[in-house]
Each structure stands twice: as structure tokens, then as C-alpha cells.
Structure 1
Amino acid sequence: MRRYLMWSVGLLAYIVAVFHRSSLGVAGVEAADRLGVGTALLSMLSVAQLAVYAGMQIPVGVLLDRFGSRRLLVAGGTLMLAGQLVFAFAGDVGTAIAARVLIGIGDAMTFISVLRIVALWFPPRKNPLMVQLTGMVGQLGALSSAVPLVLLLRHTGWTATFLAAAGLGAVSVLLVVLTLRDRPDPDEEPAPAAKRELGLRHSWSHPGTRLGLWTHFVTGFPGGVFALLWGYPFLTQGEGLAPDTAALLLSLLTVGGIVLGPLVGHFCGRLPYHRSTLVLAIVGASAAAWTVVLLWPGRAPLWVLTALIVVLTTSGPGSMIGFDYARSFNPATRIGGATGIVNVGSFVASIVLIVAIGVLLDVQTPPGAEHPSLGAFRWAFAVQYLLWALGAVQVYRYRRNTRRHLVAEDLALTAA
């Protein structure tokens, strides 16, 4: 039972981190009004946050293998609550970007720290399921930043809403300080620095780690970008849905992921050699669902948009498969660095897509227009097809390389 307590404390820290990360998603329209910026500059808030998150993953992975999950969760939680405090009083875009950078740095320290808890506290056979549960239950943070945050913004205003977010972060940090332990055996020493550095190089050189990276890249960005920033404006300004309906659909994106996560984890545990097939199926389904919405004559009916959201719920569980590859091909002593490499994937893709959508919307929106047209949103979201094509090719490539590598390892063992 103690392992589940440790996991629960780390999971709560991750839920709060996802809340901080996603809080801009439903506040995008209010942020544009408060800061006096257009869509391109608004996208820079999310880009700054995600760029820092992605850039910090490998350094944080190395720090994680050295200092452990507890210290990094405390440091990350403190940075995120500081970022929300700054964001609460931000009146210009520079201050707002600085706040989101703080949140991005803290967020970068959180998820992989929780995955390390799973790797060290749970037996290998339970790891795929626990990783999926971590990723999906953690998305409750996105759920709490949807409808509840919309209501808070409406009734209490900007500053009070983000002060409350900072208070939630303080509670999470305190709980980690009082409760969490890094490993079952407190006397176990971290790996020496030289071995950590060598482990990072070994992790990167293994095609299985790169397969995990591209899996995370190609599956995570469709749902991530939709939830983080552009889904809410697309649904309200482009498709003409009421704000409450749009917030409810974003909540469905999270709930669906929570339901699918354990199923994907069970699949990966039972059929590990077919994980990449599932990844490619998720990519195909996402592209097909967006094709229907983008080609629909006029505004899509609610049932079509709901179907799109249901398909996008596979993004989160699909991206978690990348971390299962990191675990499969790396020992626990270098799991932090390997997980950091994988976790760069969808965030790089998300940064590219967020910037591209913001620029394309600005280019297509006439001066003086209240908001972008549905046609502008459609052309902007079509950029996803380029990322899907690149990611799918790389997944197929590294799947073949990984299988050849496994055959070579078996032959080497036989020769020995």
C-alpha cells in the first residue's frame, strides 16, 4: 500500500501541474483582451511555456537521476505557483510571457519525476498500466481548468482566479514535502555522474528510445494544442458554439482520455510488439476525423465536433506509449534521462503547430475584424497534416530499426 501512497502524492503534484499548464487554454480570449494582443502574440504565451518545457526535458532528466523525484517536484511546484502569482497581476505581454516561462520550467520537472516514482516503486509488469493511469488521471488538472476556471473568470475576475491557482500549487508543494519519498530503499545511492552521462548517451543511441520520442511527437500534439490554446477559440469563434458548450467539449477531451488510458496500458502490457501499430492507427484516426471537420460545408454540427473530440481523446494515451518504450529499453538508473528525451516529442510538435496556427490566423484575418473566420481556422489547422506525415514516417523507420536492434542483441547473447 505504501507504493500507492507515494504514487498518489506524485500524481496529485502532476494534476496540479497540468492545471497550471492548461489554465491559459480557456483564458485565451480574456488574455487577449487584458493584454491587448492579437492571435500571433497570444500564441507566444503558450509557445514560451512549451518551449521552456521541451528545452528543459533532457537537463531535468539528468538532474532527476541525480537528485530524485522529491526535490524536483518541490522545486517545480514552487516555480509554478510563482508563475501563477506573476500571471495574476500581469498587465502586459512581457510580464505574462515571463509568468508562463516560470510555469513551463516547473512543469518540466513534474511529469518525469512522477514516472520515476512509478519505475522505482512498482514491478515492471505493472509499469505500462501505471504510466497510463498517471498520464490520464493527471489530466484531471485539465478538466479542472476547463469549466471551473471559466466560471471563476466570469464571476471573480482575472486576478482572483490566478491567485486561487497559486494557492492550489502551494498546497501541492507542502504535501510533497511532508509525504513523498524517492524510493523504497532510502539508503540506495544515485548513480555516479559519469554513469549518468554515459547512460544518457546510451539512451539516445538506442533506436527504441527514439521510437518513443517520435511516438510522443506524432500522437500528442493534436489533443494537446486543442486543449492548451486553439480548441476553445476554434469552437467558439470559428464553429459558433456557446462558451459553456465549448468548455464542456474540452472536458470531454479529458474524460475520454482517462477512460481510454487503462485500455491502452493493458494493450501495451499484453501485446508489446504491436504498440507501434496502435500508434499508427491513432494517427490515422486523428487525421481522418479532422478531414471530416475541415471539409464539412459550413459550420459542422455538434455531433461531428463531438466525434472529433472523441477521436482526439486518443492523443494522451497514445503519447504515453512513448514512455513505455523508454522503460522497455532503458534500466531504472537512467530512466530520468530517457524519459526526458521522449517527453520532448509532442511539445516540439505543439510549439510548431501553435505558432503556425497563430501566424496563419493573423494573416487571414482582415484588420478590424472581431475574430478569425471559420475558413481561417480551417486553413490554420490543416498544418497538422505535415506533422502527422513526418511523425508517421519516423515511427515506421525507428520501429524497423528497433526490431533489427533486438534481433542483433539476441544474436550477440547467443554467440556469447
Structure 2
Amino acid sequence: MKLALRIFFIFSLGYFISYLVRGINLPLGPLLSREIGLSPAQLGLLTSFYFFAFAGCQLPLGILLDRFGPRKVLASLLAVAALGALLSASAHSFGMLLLGRFFLGVGTSACMMAGLKAIIAWFHRDQLPIMNGALYAIGGLGAMMTGIPVSWAMGVTSWRMLFVIVAAMTGMVILALIFFVPEKDEKHPKSTLSSQLRDVAKIFRSAIFLRTAPLALISQGVFLGVQGLWAGPYLRDVSQLNPAQAANIVTVVGFAMVLGAAGFGWLARRLEREGITIHTTAGAGMLLFMAAQLLIMLDTPLPLWLLWGLYGISGTAGVLTFASMTKEFHGYLAGRVSTGLTFIMFIGAFIVQYGFGLLLNAWPHDNGSYAVSAHQASWSIALVLQACALIWFCRKLPVAEAPVPVQI
């Protein structure tokens, strides 16, 4: 167990970095807009380009993880992330920032999936919800860093030096993977590339995946897209908070993510013992996430830290879909199942971040501030789409379409 926990800790550090670079443009957005001269649409494209690169890697990544294992794949890709951080640190144009962001997306694309794959390899299947939640919780610590800690760091150093620090942290995780994580032969069936691709197609056509994918795309897309960029402008323009107050709320969201991820993992396992499926728990959690968004939009007379704390806690419910889905397939397909879901979620995050930017750009804006009505329109559209996807998610599958393990 000590070895398994050590391995979990090292992989979780990679996921911590993934979440840090994913949300770092939230506090840096105003600085980048002023120094590089970015419009709302450009800022949205720059930040969402991470998700575009991340999502584009997921399908081949699933095959690579199942074929070569999480250790080798993650160590190799993190080297690309370190290069992306260094490119970002030296950027003086929108194009260079975009390239650095692309490399960061590619380089950290394996962090979550490699962690989930390592959990499946080193822990008992009954522990999956808890360990998956713990992994997601550590990612939440990375999100917390984009609040008060980064705001504090900007008072003593530059945004360029922050990217250099990220590159150094990434290098340390690479070394830990090389020297402290052993290889593990999972004795999975070997197959040709063509048969692996056919399995990916089978997973995407399965009834359980088709039922889960729309809500995962929209719900987690909104959570990741807003938490990673547009929460800051919303707090500034709609809630009328100053930068320090907004940083406090962002930190609350990150802390809430830690609690939510760990809490939902524990709750799902307890409820499963009582006969309530993880699928049901995930759906209830994502419904709660919709309620949190609605309460924020309606400017409910409750403390902002409480409303956004609920947003952070409930937004993590989508991680339960990984445990729910991987239970329906053989273990050697876990990488492809998980990366298929991640592909869907990050496509959603790309659409949300870039789409929100386009909507904000469509209203009159000045000096980095955006119209309140533009924010409200963006959130309203997102809520309607989530409601439609939740209805689809809750439908009962006919017996003939019940999910069955995919065979090679």
C-alpha cells in the first residue's frame, strides 16, 4: 500500500501542475490583455487553446496509455509541457503565447488520464471512486493556486517568471516518474493498432457512452471553462469585486473543488453499497451544479463565498462519470474509456471558453470590462443546454442497449 500511495502522490503532482497551468490565465488575463493587447475573443481563444490541444491528444493518448503504460507516456509528454512554459515565459506576441499554450495543453494532456490509469493498475476496483476523487481533489489544489497565491506572487515577481517556475516544477515531476515509479506489467492482451482503433469506435458507439457524453461535455465544459478563465471577469463586472476580492473567491472555488472531489468519491462509494449507482450520484451532483449556477445568476442574497463554494463543490461531480464508465469495460480498456470521456469534456471546455469570449465581444466593452447582459446571456445559454443534456442522461436504457464489456 505504501508503494501504491507513493505512486499516486507522484502522478497527482502532475495533475496539480495540469490544473495550475489550465487556470493560470485567469489571474494573468488582465496583464496579458494590457501588455500584449488582447481582445476578449483573443483572450478566450488563447486560454481555450489549451483545451483544444488537450482534447486533440485524448484519443491517441488512450491507445498509448493502454499500450505503453502511464509512467512512460506521462514523463514524455511533461517534457513538452516544460517547453510550453518556457515559450510562454519568453513570448512577446499573441502567436507566441498561443504556441506556448498549445504545448502546455499537449504536454499536460496525459496528467489526469495517466493518474486514473495508475490508480486502476495499483488499487482495488472498489477504491476507484475514492482514489479518483482524491486525484481530482489535488487538481483542485492547483486551481487554488490561481487565486490568492498567484496574486501574491505577482506582487514580488513577473508573469514570465511564473512560467519559468512552472517549467521547473514540471521537470521535478519528470525526474520523480523516472526514478521513483516502477513499471508494472498489467498483463493486458496485446493487439494491433487497427484492433485498438476499432475498440475506440465500439466505446463511442456504446449505449452507456452515448447517454453520458452530452452532459459530460456541457456540464464539465462549463465548469472547466468558467473556473479556468471567465469566473474572474464575472466577479469583476457582475459582482463588482476588486481584483483582491475576486482572487479570494477564486481561492474559495479551488478549495471547494478539493472538498467536492474527495466528498463525492466517498459519497458515491457509500451510496453504491446501498444500491444507488455511481451514474445516479453523478447525475444528482451535476443537477446541484446547475442549481449553483442559477443561484449565482439570480444574485441570490447569500454570501458570494458560499455561492461560489457550492459552485466549486458541485462542479466536481462530473468526475464520477469516469468511475461509472470504467466499471462497464475491461481494465485494459480503461485508458481509452477515460480519454474518450476527457476528449468530450475538454471539447466542451474549449467551446465554452472561446464561445463566452465571442459573446462578450459581441456586446460593447471597454478597458477589459464586459457588459453584464453579455455575461448573463452566456450563463443562460449554458444552463439551458445543461438542462437538455441532463434529461438525456437520466433516461433509462432499454434492456437490449444495456452496456456490456467491450472485447478484443
Q: What TM-score do you get using the length of structure 2 for normalisation? A: 0.90
Question: Which residue in the other structure is 2:298 paired with?
Answer: 295
Alignment of 1:276-295 (within 5 A): 276-295=279-298
In 1, the alpha carbon distance for the partners of 2:51 and 2:360 equals 20
**Deviation per residue, 1:348-377 (Å, 9 max, x gap):** 2222221221112111124x5552133332
Alignment of 1:387-406 (within 5 A): 387-397=385-395, 400-401=396-397, 405-406=401-402
Quick one: which amino acid aligns to residue 391 of structure 2? Answer: V
Contact kept in structure 1, 2:287 and 2:390, CA below 8 Å: no
Alignment of 1:5-404 (within 5 A): 5-183=6-184, 185=185, 188=187, 191-193=190-192, 195-272=195-272, 273-296=276-299, 303-366=302-365, 368=366, 371-397=369-395, 400-401=396-397
Change (3 A) 1:386 1:351: farther
Contact kept in structure 2, 1:225 and 1:350, CA below 8 Å: yes
Quick one: which amino acid aligns to residue 229 of structure 1? Answer: L
Contact kept in structure 2, 1:211 and 1:325, CA below 8 Å: no
Stretch of structure 1 that moved more, 239-248 or 91-100 = 239-248
Question: Aligned pairs, how many?
Answer: 400
**Deviation per residue, 1:229-263 (Å, 9 max, x gap):** 00012112332212222112111112112122233
SS in 2 for 1:91: coil
1:339: Cα distance to partner?
Answer: 0.7
1:332: Cα distance to partner?
Answer: 1.3
In 2, the alpha carbon distance for the partners of 1:369 and 1:244 equals 18
SS in 2 for 1:155: coil
**Deviation per residue, 1:302-348 (Å, 9 max, x gap):** x4422321221234431111111221111111111111111123222
SS in 2 for 1:229: helix
In 2, the alpha carbon distance for the partners of 1:292 and 1:130 equals 31
In 2, the alpha carbon distance for the partners of 1:344 and 1:403 equals 28
Contact kept in structure 2, 1:239 and 1:374, CA below 8 Å: no
Quick one: which amino acid aligns to residue 345 of structure 2? Answer: S
**Deviation per residue, 1:143-202 (Å, 9 max, x gap):** 12322212222321122222112111111111111112342x48x466222553343233
Quick one: which amino acid aligns to residue 344 of structure 2? Answer: G
SS in 1 for 2:91: coil
Contact kept in structure 2, 1:212 and 1:324, CA below 8 Å: no
Contact kept in structure 2, 1:213 and 1:322, CA below 8 Å: no
Contact kept in structure 2, 1:253 and 1:312, CA below 8 Å: yes
In 1, the alpha carbon distance for the partners of 2:157 and 2:367 equals 29
Quick one: which amino acid aligns to residue 401 of structure 1? Answer: L
Quick one: which amino acid aligns to residue 118 of structure 2? Answer: I
Contact kept in structure 2, 1:215 and 1:321, CA below 8 Å: no
Percent same amino acid at aligned positions? 19
Stretch of structure 1 that moved more, 207-216 or 327-336 = 207-216
Stretch of structure 1 that moved more, 98-107 or 189-198 = 189-198
**Deviation per residue, 1:16-66 (Å, 9 max, x gap):** 222122211211111111210111111001221111111211111111111
Quick one: which amino acid aligns to residue 343 of structure 1? Answer: T
Q: After TM superposition, what 4+ stretches of structure 1 lie above 6 angstroms from structure 2?
A: none
Change (3 A) 1:278 1:125: closer
SS in 2 for 1:154: coil
Contact kept in structure 2, 1:20 and 1:103, CA below 8 Å: yes
Contact kept in structure 1, 2:226 and 2:353, CA below 8 Å: no
Change (3 A) 1:290 1:269: closer
Contact kept in structure 2, 1:207 and 1:401, CA below 8 Å: yes
In 2, the alpha carbon distance for the partners of 1:392 and 1:88 equals 41
Change (3 A) 1:88 1:334: same
Change (3 A) 1:280 1:304: farther
Change (3 A) 1:134 1:402: farther
Change (3 A) 1:262 1:290: closer
SS in 1 for 2:241: coil
In 2, the alpha carbon distance for the partners of 1:180 and 1:238 equals 47
Contact kept in structure 1, 2:49 and 2:102, CA below 8 Å: yes
Gapped runs of 5+ residues in structure 1? 411-416
Change (3 A) 1:160 1:329: same
**Deviation per residue, 1:81-108 (Å, 9 max, x gap):** 1111111111111111111110111121
Measured on the aligned residues, the alpha-carbon RMSD in Å equals 2.3
In 1, the alpha carbon distance for the partners of 2:377 and 2:213 equals 28
Quick one: which amino acid aligns to residue 209 of structure 2? Answer: T
Gapped runs of 5+ residues in structure 2? none
Contact kept in structure 1, 2:58 and 2:343, CA below 8 Å: yes
Change (3 A) 1:402 1:177: farther
Quick one: which amino acid aligns to residue 393 of structure 2? Answer: V
Q: What TM-score do you get using the length of structure 1 for normalisation? A: 0.89
